Amino acid sequence: MAIAQSKLTAQGQISIPAEVRKKLGVGPGSVLEWEERDAEIVVRRAGKHTSSQVYAVLFGADRPVTTVPVKQGIREYVRKKHARR
């Protein structure tokens, strides 16, 4: 069942209906991802960072994945970043 319809312009652009924008939580400047699954195209709001990117910043890329508390990782990162040299 379709939520809404859009019409493709000659320039290859579409307008995203208001009800779809509300469901996705997007507005001007938002980035959408398009993914092909079987015979369908799925559109979703793009995340800014993956969990592995966040982990690498907090704990270092060379550190093995563990259950280290996030607050501790943030504290270490901030201390390193703002340490006086």
pLDDT value of residue 62:
72
**More confident: 44 or 10:** 10
Cα separations in angstroms, 53 against 27, 34, 43, 48? 25, 21, 22, 10
CB 32 within 8 A of CB 46: yes
pTM, entire model:
0.49
Cα separations in angstroms, 81 against 26, 34, 58, 60? 32, 36, 11, 13
Read off the pLDDT of residues 56-73 as tens digits, 9 standing for 90 and up. Answer: 777 777 766 666 677 787
Read off the pLDDT of residues 10-42 as tens digits, 9 standing for 90 and up. Answer: 999 999 999 989 988 888 888 888 989 899 988
Q: State how far Cα 58 lies from the chain centre.
A: 18
